């Protein structure tokens, strides 16, 4: 019986092809918009989390000033390094220094280099385009853009705060980590690296750092180590600092992006509801056109539920067809938008839309429900028509 009613509903839809396709297009547009926004949002979320994971890692703690990375605080890195479960500690201190190079002079960021930073840079696949790394005092490694700006190369000398430093290396270009904001605040392409001891000598006084990164031993209890670090900082007199982990960062990012996705999907969902109104309008028109047909069906023994199911199948069918086509259109729209935006704003290949089975099934189910729900009232009206009145309808 259900099969026969479904076939009858399919036949009725195909008999009104133009009106049915116009109705399907309304569902298609809404579904495509929702799918495109959600897939792009999920792709962006995964990309951001992957970048944070690449820079920090699951077993990394970050100590930063309470006011954000723009502030400074004093931290005893040596005491933290002695704690069980701590593999390495990387304090990051950057000062703006006067630099006099062979071709240019000016104020440039100076970064205190530590041994832990070598591992940090290696994890980000940043190597030297020329020369080597720091090995002794009074040596400097220049970011790629800084080296070109001051006209320096390995073997030349630059004056930093009136002290001579030999340039021993130049870092490779890093398109994705440029500027002071790149690399979690380390000016890779715009900075000059000297040993931490040289930085403290050039800028004496309190050893105030921008932040401290702590890498834990694999398998270490993050909660326990975090509590030990917090206690050590308090005992050493460190105030005005806060500690976060990779889990805290990713949770915050996911929460923000999820809110943005929900807001955008809600806006796009309005067009899907408009498509549902189109389905309802089509079904009401179908009820009026087929009143005598309904009366004839009831006269030969059709039950109210049979009439109800026929109209519900019709509206649900238009919803699911529109959802399937909208799903394909949404995937194509997401890919196209990311490609065009990537080329326009120079971030091509940074992230890709996410197309999951859950998203596809959810879009199809939701579009079917919108279509079916839009046909409920017209179907109920058709099923309640008295056979005699329906047969007399002109």
Q: What is the pLDDT, as a whole number, of residue 305?
A: 78
Q: Residue 328's beta-bridge partner residues? A: none
pLDDT at position 194: 93
Run of H or E including 264: helix 246-289
pLDDT per residue over 268-289, tens digit each?
A: 777 777 778 888 887 777 776 7
- Are 255 and 271 members of one domain? yes
- Count CA within 13 A, CB hemisphere, residue 310: 24
Residue 13 phi, psi dihedral angles, 5° rounding: -65, -45
Among 368, 375, 370, CA closest to 283 = 375
User: Quick one: 39 and 166 in the same domain?
Assistant: no
Same domain, 114 and 229: yes
276 and 214 share one domain: no
> 94 and 215 share a domain?
yes
Reduced to 3 states, what is the DSSP secondary structure of residue 242?
Answer: strand
Evaluate if residue 324 carries a pLDDT over 70.
yes
User: For position 78, what pLDDT does the model report?
Assistant: 81
**Which one is predicted more confidently, 317 or 180?**
317
Region 230-242 average pLDDT:
80
pLDDT tens string 64-76: 887 665 678 877 7
Domain boundary at 211, 245, 279, which? 245
Domain boundary among 213, 245, 277: 245
* Highest mean pLDDT of the ranges 31-35, 151-155, 173-177: 151-155
Q: Same structural domain for residues 49 and 21?
A: yes
- Domain containing 109 equals 60-245
Q: b/e for 92-122, b at 16 or more Cβ within 10 A?
A: bbbeebebebeeeeeebbbbbbbebbeebbe
Q: Are residues 89 and 168 in the same domain?
A: yes
The mean pLDDT of 81-98, rounded to a whole number, is 87
Q: What is the mean pLDDT of the chain?
A: 79
Domain identity same for 91 and 176: yes
In the predicted model, is pLDDT for residue 199 greater than 90? yes
The token pair that represents 231 in the structure block: 């206690």
Count of the separate structural domains present in the chain: 2
What are phi and psi for residue 366, nearest 5 degrees?
-65, -40
| 1 CB-near residues (< 8 Å, 6+ apart) | 306
Q: What's the predicted TM-score (pTM) here?
A: 0.59
Same domain, 48 and 161: no
Q: How far is CA 373 from CA 233, 246, 250, 393, in A?
A: 60, 44, 38, 27
Instruction: Tell whether 72 and 192 lie within a shared domain.
Output: yes
195 pLDDT tier (thresholds 50, 70, 90): very high
d(CA 61, CA 228): 12
Q: 263 and 225 in one domain?
A: no
| 29: Cα separation from own chain's centroid | 24
- pLDDT for 110 equals 92
Look at residues 208, 245, 207 and name the one whose alpha carbon lies nearest to residue 63: 245
From 224, 245, 266, the end of a domain falls on 245
pLDDT of residue 217: 85
Asked whether residue 68 falls in the same domain as residue 165, the answer is yes
Long-range contacts of 177-185 (CB under 8 A, 24+ apart): 177/124, 177/126, 178/145, 180/109, 183/55, 183/124, 184/55, 184/56, 184/69, 184/92, 184/211, 184/213, 185/69, 185/92, 185/94, 185/210, 185/211
């Amino acid at each position: 019986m259900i099969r026969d009613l479904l076939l009858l509903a399919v036949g009725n839809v195909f008999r009104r092809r133009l009106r049915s396709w116009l109705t399907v297009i309304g569902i298609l547009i809404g579904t495509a918009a929702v799918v495109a926004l959600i897939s792009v949002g999920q792709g962006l979320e995964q990309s951001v989390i992957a970048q944070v994971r690449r820079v920090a890692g699951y077993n990394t703690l970050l100590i930063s000033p309470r006011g954000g990375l723009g502030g400074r605080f004093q931290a005893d890195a040596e005491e933290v390094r002695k704690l069980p479960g701590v593999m390495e500690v990387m304090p990051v201190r950057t000062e703006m220094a006067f630099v006099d190079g062979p071709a240019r002079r000016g104020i440039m960021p100076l970064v205190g280099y530590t041994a832990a930073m070598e591992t940090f840079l290696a994890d980000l696949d940043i190597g030297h385009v020329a020369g080597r790394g720091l090995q002794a005092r009074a040596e400097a490694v220049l970011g790629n853009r800084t080296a070109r700006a001051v006209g320096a190369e390995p073997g030349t000398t630059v004056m930093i705060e009136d002290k001579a430093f030999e340039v021993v290396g130049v870092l490779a270009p890093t398109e994705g980590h440029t500027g002071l904001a790149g690399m979690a605040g380390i000016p890779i392409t715009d900075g000059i690296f000297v040993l931490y001891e040289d930085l403290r000598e050039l800028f004496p006084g309190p050893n105030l750092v921008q932040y401290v990164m702590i890498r834990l031993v694999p398998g270490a209890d993050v909660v326990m180590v975090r509590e030990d670090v917090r206690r050590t900082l308090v005992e050493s007199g460190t105030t005005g600092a806060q500690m976060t982990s990779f889990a805290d960062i990713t949770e915050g990012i996911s929460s923000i992006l999820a809110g943005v996705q929900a807001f955008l999907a809600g806006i796009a969902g309005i067009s899907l509801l408009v498509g549902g109104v189109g389905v309802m309008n089509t079904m009401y028109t179908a009820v009026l056109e087929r009143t005598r047909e309904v009366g004839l069906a009831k006269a030969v023994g059709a039950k109210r539920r049979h009439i109800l199911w026929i109209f519900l199948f019709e509206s649900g069918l238009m919803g699911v067809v529109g959802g399937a086509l909208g799903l394909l259109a949404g995937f194509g729209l997401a890919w196209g938008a990311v490609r065009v935006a990537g080329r326009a704003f120079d971030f091509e290949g940074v992230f890709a839309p996410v197309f999951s089975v859950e998203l596809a099934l959810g879009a199809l189910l939701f579009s079917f429900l919108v279509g079916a729900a839009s046909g409920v009232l017209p179907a109920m009206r058709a099923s309640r028509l008295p056979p005699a009145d329906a047969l007399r309808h002109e």
